[in-house]
Amino acid sequence: MEARLDRSFDFSVLFDEYRDEARQQLDLLDGALLTLERAGALAEEERAALLRAMHTLKGNSGMLGLAPLHDIVHRIEDVFRFAP
């Protein structure tokens, strides 16, 4: 008996999941930018959470072939990683 691979895949479900998660990660970025504007710095745990969120958004964007977004998020990630 030959195994058959189901090649049907609903890409829209994956994209909806990506969009929802990206929205949460961008909300975190927005909050961090507001904190920076108000306080001038981020607490180390806020910075670490932001870096994790940006890293995830970057990776997810790359997996979906969204190269321009991947590149932008990579730059944002670098800014926060190497900021004093």
Tell me the residue range of the domain where 54 lies: 44-84
**28, 49 in Cβ contact below 8 A?**
yes
In a domain, 54, yes or no: yes
Flag whether 22 is in a domain: no
Is 72 inside any structural domain?
yes
Which amino acid belongs to residue 40?
G
Tell whether 82 is covered by a domain. Answer: yes
Asked if residues 44 and 74 have their Cβ atoms less than 8 Å apart, the reply is no
56 domain-assigned? yes
Tell me whether residue 19 is in a domain. Answer: no
DSSP type of residue 41 = S
Angstrom distances, CA of residue 63 to CA of 24, 34, 42, 69, 83: 18, 29, 29, 11, 27
Percent residues over pLDDT 70 in the chain:
94
Overall average pLDDT of the 32-52 stretch: 92
Q: 45 pLDDT exceeds 70?
A: yes
Mean pLDDT of the chain: 91
Q: How many domains does the chain have?
A: 1
